[in-house]
A and B are shown apart, each in its own frame.
Chain A
């Protein structure tokens, strides 16, 4: 049974870079059928998709975060990572990693079928 687990610091200072890693166990990240995504949820608010990366091909990013975010894949360690720069208090949220099924052609099937437990990242000095 494939499982995902987020890891990283729970506290980041304003203007610095938030870095998180999602460790995938019980299966390979080198799946050509899936993307690997990040979603966040500010306290008391809804879900916001950050971006998704495939095993091969182009990465998709939320345009509102595009200039600050990078998602990368490390197949040798079976994990993928999120980097969000120039953070402010508005970036305080629970960050989830998830397996993302995304079809290439319309009508595009699109769903997140496996999720990590989430990790709270607070931006504060």
Chain B
């Protein structure tokens, strides 16, 4: 049981827009910044969004992050088949003094 809750799967057609939600509480998402990771099959996770809405160098602006209260959202526009992957949200939990991740969301590009 993950501290952060993500939908197990989402799907959309190429070129469309998709959002992935991440729900937490006041001690984690409500209190600290959020990061998002993309994990392609058989590879290590890759930082996609940090500090809630900032993109590392090399990450296209098709990827965006936002937060509202105790929930965060990853948005992906102009979907490509290469975006098929597992996506994880992460943050710090101030009550646990621990790093926490969501359970992951599998994105299928139909």
Contact = CB atoms under 8 A, between A and B. Distances in A.
A57 interface: no
A110 B45 contact: no
A116 B45 CA distance: 9
Interface centre among A37, A52, A112 (most CB of B within 10 A): A112
Contacts of B71: none
A46 B98 contact: no
B2 A117 contact: no
B35 interface: yes
Interface string B50-69: 11000010000000000000
Contacts of B31: 106-108
Interface in A58-89: 60-63
B101 A110 contact: no
Chain A contact residues (Cβ within 8 angstroms of B): what range? 20 to 34
B90 A115 contact: no
A109 interface: yes
B33 A107 contact: yes
A62 B37 CA distance: 20
Contacts of B102: 46
5 contacts: A62-B98, A63-B96, A112-B37, A115-B45, A117-B43
Given A47-B90, A106-B94, A108-B31, 20 more contacts: A37-B99, A39-B101, A46-B2, A46-B88, A47-B37, A48-B101, A49-B100, A49-B101, A62-B99, A96-B44, A101-B50, A107-B33, A110-B99, A111-B33, A112-B47, A112-B90, A113-B47, A113-B56, A117-B44, A118-B44
